[in-house]
Structure 1
Amino acid sequence: MYDFGSMKDRNAVEAEMSWDARDKPVTLYQMLEQTAKKFPERPAASYQLTSGPTDAKETVTWRQMLERSCQAANLFRSLGIGEKDVVAFLLPNCNETIYTLMGGGIAGIVNPINPLLDAEQVSGILRETGAKVLVTLKSFPKADVAQLAAKSVAMAPNVHTVLEIDLNRYLSPPKSWLVPLLRPKNPVAHKARVLDFVAEMSRQNTTLDFTDTPEDRVAAYFHTGGTTGTPKVAQHKYSGMVYNGWLGSSLLFDENDVIICPLPLFHVFAVHVIWMSVLMAGSHFVHPTPAGYRGEGVFDNFWKLVERYKVSFMITVPTAISALMQRPVDADVSSLKTAFSGSAPLPIELYNRFVAATGVTIVEGYGLTEATCLVSCNPPAGDKKVGSVGVPFPYTDVKILTCDDDGNVLKEHDVDEVGEICLSNPGVFAGNTYTEEAKNQGLFAYGSHLRTGDLGRLDEDGYLWITGRAKDLIIRGGHNIDPAEIEEVLAGHDAVAFVGAIGQPDSYSGELPCAYVELVGGAQVTTDELMDFAKKHIHEKAALPKHIEILDELPKTAVGKVFKPELRKSAITRVYDKALEDAGHDAHVVEVIDDKKRGLVARLRATGDVDHEAVAQCLGEFTRPFEWMD
């Protein structure tokens, strides 16, 4: 492993040899085969259906992981899946999810889908990717994934086979006896064949029945959200997966590490950043409960699970850290070395509380679906500038640019100047990021650097700071929400003339959606009525506004577009003032300024005696910075 502690170390890795000259696997199968040969009997993955620290678990060795992934790949080939055909999965976490991920990417193109989407969105993804096979759950108590799959496939006639996984195999009597009695009915309207995944897989050979072509190709499709219409689908090549795996195995993990990752395996963070790194390093991957962190009892038992598996790395997100900090560290966590946090910015106060409670530091990282994820992280062995997203990884070139809509570069910014973050690395599929060609227009600067839509700067030490977003996405606990869905729904109300939806600061989720509304002249409606209207028409629960406010007139640009920076300032003022009032602090927000280095900054003034340290703790729960006025 490399000692990654600064830009100097990062540059030294690059200077050692070029990326193309490095001895590395080419395909997903080669990655798996290489690790299985090195560590055949070491644990690869452990899964438990329930969260108790002594509950039944299933551990699979690297030899078994290779064999079962080959069986899955052979099964998919027997169902007509070639290198350009798609296997989709709509699954919670379990060991079969990993076999599907691996087998699908070896046989063809694997397409993980978020089971929290609605049927229209899932079917839209299935149609966009042309998926022929869908792997999903068999109907199971307290889960609606099977029902969602049935509805979705009925609207996606391209799917000819549905493979079902029965989670009941993870249970023992008497619980396993009860499942057939409690199993919800799942009426099927589609015409696809329905087969048992485990039974069909067990009939296959444990070595590949076909030749693994040793060439780079597209092997995965990941959707980028799914909040309105058909979401964008990003194409990921083997080279991007190998790059993520090489980074993690070179800079973060080795075969002795145990990684607990209660994140969903439909998301790039869990799949490309963590699993590919584990796969390359030969580490031990622990993923408790179908719903991960959202599973019953996971937060209450988390530290005991760390003790059970002797976890050295925990993978987390800010919302999970916030929930964990509301519980005592009630187990021996001395094995824990590092926490890796991603998906959303981490508030400084939350970082401080975690370090104080566990004695473990947090490595914050930055990535995005379009880049096969990893871009930068705070160096594990070096200075962690809390609030930054660290140093770009080796072989990742980050430029801060201003571009026009077509991707033409208007300016390349100097140190500490804010612009759009644009990047190139082996995970960027230049020119063909999305499956729909029209969505790639204007997406690249210089023809090679992906325009992220995030605003940021590089400081004098090479650390990357995100200061805002050029695009309007609301990020709620790492989940992307397109404000267009909220705006289109509310604009459909007869009394509404204009709508601006933004993310307001939240101490738990990072951001929550809120909406500002301007009414049609002479119209009358209450915010409660608008909220009821939104509840009826917004399909995705996560996109439902937390706050709706009616203004006499929304701020607008010279061409009549809603000017959202002013709305964000208003939301910061409202949320911060409420937090200060609830905590009993005699202070309020006087203004919110747009700082060139830090983005939007709240400026406070005291109205009485104020404990500045207590205020810092209060507002440190949020990601937007603040400062005191003289």
Structure 2
Amino acid sequence: MARFASLEDIKTIEREMPWPESQPAVTLYEMLTNTKNTHGDLNAISFQLFSGPNDPAETLTWTEYHTRVTQAANLFRSLGVGPTDTVAYILPNCNEAAVTLLGGAVAGIANPVNPLLDAEQIGSILRETNAKVVVSLKAFPKTDVAQKVAEAVALAPNVETVLEVDLLGYLTGVKKLIVPLLRPKNPVSHKAKVLSFNAECARQPGELTFEDVREDRVACYFHTGGTTGMPKVAQHTYSGMIYNGWIGHTLLFTEKDTVICPLPLFHVFACHVILMAMIASGAHVVFPTPQGYRGEGVFDNFWKLVERWQVTFIITVPTAIAAMMQRPVDADISSVKTAFSGSAPLPVELFRRFEKATGVTLIEGYGLTEATCLVSCNPVEGEKKIGSVGATFPHTKVKILTQTADELVECGVDVVGEICIDSPGVLPGRTYTETEKNRDLYYYDTFLRTGDLGRIDGDGYLWITGRAKDLIIRGGHNIDPAEIEEALAGHEAVAFAGAIGQPDAFAGELPCVYVELIDGAEITEDALLAYAKVHIHER
């Protein structure tokens, strides 16, 4: 690993490891094969269906994971998936999801889809990506994923095959006998053929049956919307995904690390920042429960899981940190070196609570789906500025730009503007599958407009100040929701705060804030308003 303590270290890495000359592989399969050859007997991926620290888990070594990915890729190719065809998966976390991501990207284009979306939204994504094969759950108690996917496939006539993953394989003892009796019905109206994912994979050879062409290409589709209306689908290339893995291996992880990642395998944070870094480094990743942090008992058992797996890195997000801080640290977590938080801005007070309660160094970083994720993070060994998302990674360029009436202006030190990115993860002109959605998405042809507002300080650290579209505009005056949220998060009774603009006939919008209290805390609305008047300086 390279030293990462300052901006000078980043410059040194850029000089000594130029890109793309330092790219460790051309394709994902090549990178995975290299790791299998070097670290084949080491643990690669572990998944446990339940959250208990003594519950059964399935662990794949790098050799076993490589074989499973190869078989899945062979299966997809046998089903007619070529380099430009799509394999979508709508799965909760499980080893099959990690296998499908890589296998789909080796044979064609992998398309992770959020299983929490409704059937109509899933169907629209399957149509947009022209998915030929779908991998999803076989009907299982306490989840409606199989039923939603059956309905979604009926809305996407392009889907030819549905491969079902049966979570029954992760059960043991009495539960394994009872679940088949409780399995819900799943009548289908689509015309796609339905097969067993694991049974069909097992029939495939453990050697790749087709050539892994050593050239860069689009290998993943990730949707960035879908909660309302039509989603945007971002395109990711081999080189962008491998860049994420290279960053993780170069700056953070070695084959001696164990990472706990209760984030979903339909999100770039888990797929690119973590899984690609595991493949590049040979480190071990643990996925607890199908729902990750949402899984039953995960927060109650979290620290015991850290002790069980001797975790060295914790991967988390602000909402999960808020939940953790409502529970005691009830296990030996001395193995942990660092916790990494991303996906959303982390309130300063929550940051301080976490480090005080755990004694673990917390690093905040920044990335986005459109840039194949990684952009920046606070140095692992150097100065960590609380509230900042740190220094940009090697070979990533960030400009803070603002469009005036006359020209495009690059902002000076500490001047807020739009964060724009040029990196190996940015695909200029082709970020989204729909050409129209790429219009006006770039400055200077290659700098992706993120829509995030931010500034760069005198030391070169990046600070996110909000979203351009999230600004609360009261009577023509811009109010940053982050200022309200940070202030209220400082109250001892508040676990988390979220501010929005509420429509107002006179002012246009008025600030409105929702708060989640710490378990057992009590406070009145009047008391919070009084606190806000003192601590929120925006008027």
- Using structure 1 for the length normalisation, give the TM-score: 0.79
Deviation, 1:194, is 0.3
Q: Summarize deviations over 1:146-202 as a string: whole Å, max 9, x none.
A: 001001001000001000000001001210111111001111011100000000000
- Using structure 2 for the length normalisation, give the TM-score: 0.92
Q: Summarize deviations over 1:186-241 as a string: whole Å, max 9, x none.
A: 11011100000000000000110000000000000000021222110000000100
Deviation, 1:409, is 5.6
Q: Secondary structure at the match of 1:105?
A: helix
- Report the equivalent of 1:449: 447
- Report the equivalent of 2:417: 419
| C-alpha separation in 2, matches of 1:64 and 1:138 | 23
| C-alpha separation in 1, matches of 2:177 and 2:81 | 36
Amino acid across the alignment from 2:418: E
**Correspondences of 1:533-548 after superposition (within 5 Å):** none
1:571 to 2:512 alignment: yes
**Correspondences of 1:142-541 after superposition (within 5 Å):** 142-403=142-403, 410-472=408-470, 505=485, 512=498, 516-517=502-503
Does the C-alpha gap of structure 1 residues 575 and 44 become closer, same or farther in structure 2, counting only changes over 3 Å? closer
Does the C-alpha gap of structure 1 residues 236 and 511 become closer, same or farther in structure 2, counting only changes over 3 Å? farther
- Report the equivalent of 2:72: 72
Kept in 2, the 8 Å contact 1:573–1:589? The answer is: no
| C-alpha separation in 2, matches of 1:247 and 1:415 | 26
Q: Secondary structure at the match of 2:131?
A: coil
Kept in 2, the 8 Å contact 1:345–1:510? The answer is: no
Kept in 2, the 8 Å contact 1:363–1:377? The answer is: yes
Does the C-alpha gap of structure 1 residues 216 and 574 become closer, same or farther in structure 2, counting only changes over 3 Å? closer
Deviation, 1:574, is 10
Q: Secondary structure at the match of 2:34?
A: helix
Does the C-alpha gap of structure 1 residues 573 and 282 become closer, same or farther in structure 2, counting only changes over 3 Å? closer
| C-alpha separation in 2, matches of 1:93 and 1:51 | 13
| C-alpha separation in 1, matches of 2:411 and 2:290 | 45
- Report the equivalent of 2:506: 553
Q: Secondary structure at the match of 1:174?
A: helix
Deviation, 1:99, is 0.7
Kept in 2, the 8 Å contact 1:580–1:586? The answer is: no
| C-alpha separation in 1, matches of 2:309 and 2:37 | 24
- Report the equivalent of 1:623: none
Quick check: 364-373 or 409-418, which moved more? Answer: 409-418
- Report the equivalent of 1:55: 55
Kept in 1, the 8 Å contact 2:23–2:243? The answer is: no
Kept in 2, the 8 Å contact 1:124–1:229? The answer is: no
| C-alpha separation in 1, matches of 2:443 and 2:512 | 33
Q: Secondary structure at the match of 2:106?
A: helix
| C-alpha separation in 2, matches of 1:219 and 1:200 | 22
Amino acid across the alignment from 1:516: Q
Count of residue pairs the alignment pairs up: 521
Q: Secondary structure at the match of 2:326?
A: coil
Q: Secondary structure at the match of 2:319?
A: helix
Deviation, 1:404, is 7.2
Q: Secondary structure at the match of 1:275?
A: helix
Kept in 2, the 8 Å contact 1:70–1:207? The answer is: yes
Kept in 1, the 8 Å contact 2:244–2:374? The answer is: yes
Kept in 2, the 8 Å contact 1:318–1:509? The answer is: no
Q: Which has the higher contact order (CA 8 A, sep 6+)?
A: 2
**Correspondences of 1:102-113 after superposition (within 5 Å):** 102-113=102-113
Does the C-alpha gap of structure 1 residues 183 and 516 become closer, same or farther in structure 2, counting only changes over 3 Å? same
Deviation, 1:7, is 1.0
Does the C-alpha gap of structure 1 residues 143 and 513 become closer, same or farther in structure 2, counting only changes over 3 Å? farther
Does the C-alpha gap of structure 1 residues 511 and 434 become closer, same or farther in structure 2, counting only changes over 3 Å? farther
- Report the equivalent of 2:138: 138
Kept in 1, the 8 Å contact 2:388–2:462? The answer is: yes
Deviation, 1:398, is 0.3
Does the C-alpha gap of structure 1 residues 3 and 271 become closer, same or farther in structure 2, counting only changes over 3 Å? same
- Report the equivalent of 1:116: 116
Q: Secondary structure at the match of 1:76?
A: helix
Does the C-alpha gap of structure 1 residues 412 and 509 become closer, same or farther in structure 2, counting only changes over 3 Å? farther
Q: Summarize deviations over 1:15-53 as a string: whole Å, max 9, x none.
A: 224212215101110110010000110000111101111
Kept in 2, the 8 Å contact 1:28–1:106? The answer is: yes
Kept in 1, the 8 Å contact 2:93–2:290? The answer is: yes
Q: Secondary structure at the match of 2:126?
A: helix
Q: Secondary structure at the match of 1:244?
A: helix
Gaps of 5+ in 2: 473-480
Percentage of pairs with the same residue? 60
- Report the equivalent of 1:599: none
- Report the equivalent of 1:10: 10
Amino acid across the alignment from 1:468: G
Amino acid across the alignment from 1:413: C
Amino acid across the alignment from 1:443: L
Does the C-alpha gap of structure 1 residues 385 and 87 become closer, same or farther in structure 2, counting only changes over 3 Å? same
Does the C-alpha gap of structure 1 residues 409 and 575 become closer, same or farther in structure 2, counting only changes over 3 Å? farther
Does the C-alpha gap of structure 1 residues 371 and 341 become closer, same or farther in structure 2, counting only changes over 3 Å? same
Amino acid across the alignment from 2:48: Q
Q: Secondary structure at the match of 1:462?
A: coil
Q: Secondary structure at the match of 1:571?
A: strand
Amino acid across the alignment from 1:393: F
Quick check: 226-235 or 214-223, which moved more? Answer: 226-235
Quick check: 434-443 or 505-514, which moved more? Answer: 505-514
| C-alpha separation in 2, matches of 1:217 and 1:325 | 43
Q: Summarize deviations over 1:599-622 as a string: whole Å, max 9, x none.
A: xxxxx3xxxxxxxxxxxxxx7xxx
| C-alpha separation in 1, matches of 2:86 and 2:407 | 36
Does the C-alpha gap of structure 1 residues 372 and 2 become closer, same or farther in structure 2, counting only changes over 3 Å? same
| C-alpha separation in 1, matches of 2:387 and 2:395 | 23
| C-alpha separation in 2, matches of 1:148 and 1:585 | 42
| C-alpha separation in 1, matches of 2:286 and 2:223 | 25
| C-alpha separation in 1, matches of 2:453 and 2:356 | 31
Kept in 1, the 8 Å contact 2:498–2:514? The answer is: no
Kept in 2, the 8 Å contact 1:580–1:587? The answer is: no
Q: Summarize deviations over 1:248-298 as a string: whole Å, max 9, x none.
A: 001011000000001000000000001101110000010011000111111
Kept in 2, the 8 Å contact 1:51–1:297? The answer is: yes
| C-alpha separation in 2, matches of 1:145 and 1:379 | 40
Does the C-alpha gap of structure 1 residues 84 and 585 become closer, same or farther in structure 2, counting only changes over 3 Å? closer
Q: Summarize deviations over 1:424-472 as a string: whole Å, max 9, x none.
A: 0000001100000000000000001000001110001000001121134
Q: Secondary structure at the match of 1:471?
A: helix
